[in-house]
Amino acid sequence: MAGVFGAESTTDEVLAGVDLAGRRVLVTGASAGLGVETARALASKGAQVIGAVRDLKKGEGAIAAARDDAANGGSIELVELDLASLASVRACADKLLADGREFDVIIANAGVMACPQGKTADGFETQFGTNHLGHFVLVNRLAPLLKDGGRFVSLSSAGHRFSDIDLDDPNFERTPYAEFTAYGRSKTANALFAVEFDRRHRARGVRAASVHPGGIMTELGRHMTPEVQQQMVDSINASQQAGGGQPFSWKTIPQGAATSVWAGFVADADEVGGRYCEDCHVAELNDNPASRGGVRPYALDPDRASALWAKSEEMVGERF
């Protein structure tokens, strides 16, 4: 693996000296925050980036400056994708499949966080349906376009520590709804999806990893009031102090997107395959509630990953 990076590394630092000319990448959620920065950084190194966005008009405005950074044949194109609607997900996949051009890397970056209780167009709980099931259908439908030796990067979060998945009640039909419990379930699902996708595709050299970008001030937190954000930071700091860790600090957007590009293009494939990454390194298993670093064992459990895959196929009515 080239270079040693950490929590403060940026996308440009991680990709320094990397030539991505001719590489084709799909990035979901490319109309704000981490998605825009990921697209910008990759296009600046010559990659042809397809950004999937819910609102094409907003997306065009958001990536205008990123396009100015494109170099060495790099480019950014947009396609429409609403992860909260399986009709939209399937239409997006159909369009890309009809185009037929392969991808070197798919980065499932889009998501929602801690939103009020609601349902997707298909009746799924909003966070599980958008963050997991939408990507589950999209990425699996596009798997034939993922080149042998390619990679899939699934954005999870330290928020996976809030909750394991609940395969008996994924839509909170019997469980009292809590915003962060729902978010935790969806982020655990993002990690488990990568585990099972990696197992199913590694024979052809395709590897999958999940990543935690860090705490970043982006549109993802739009449902959180400043008071709730401060309460979350205070809670993290209390746990960190109890465990002898460092105080919480926000990352910049280029720092937050760094782990995605590191896992997708820089890290050794066998090192990150089937693993959970943070701060540009593979995270250690950590079941200590007083520690913020690392990954809970349940988020990498292969049996849970297989069970989630089967439940997801049942929910979306499609087998992969």
The residues annotated as belonging to the active site are 156, 183, 187
Compute φ and ψ for 295, nearest 5 degrees: -130, 140
Token pair for residue 121?
Answer: 């167009």
Alpha helices, H only, 45-148 = 56-62, 64-68, 86-99, 126-127, 135-142
Nearest residue to 272 via CA among 191, 183, 178:
191
Give the single-character DSSP code of 242.
Answer: H
Q: What is the DSSP letter of 266?
A: I
Please say whether the beta carbons of 122 and 170 come within 8 A. Answer: no
CA count, 13 A, side-chain hemisphere, 128: 31
- According to DSSP, residue 304 is labeled H
Question: How is residue 180 written in tokens?
Answer: 């962060």
DSSP state of 76: E
Can you tell me the distance from the alpha carbon of 91 to that of 112, in angstroms, rounded to the nearest whole number?
21
Coil/strand/helix, residue 182: helix
**Using alpha carbons only, what angle is made at residue 255 by residues 268 and 75, rounded to the nearest 5 degrees?**
75
Closest CA to 63 of 96, 30, 92: 30
Q: What is the DSSP letter of 295?
A: B
Residue given tokens 């051009």 in the structure block: 101
Residue type at 52?
A
Q: List Cβ neighbours of 252 (8 Å cut-off, separation of 6 or more).
A: 10, 216
CA distance between the termini of the chain: 32
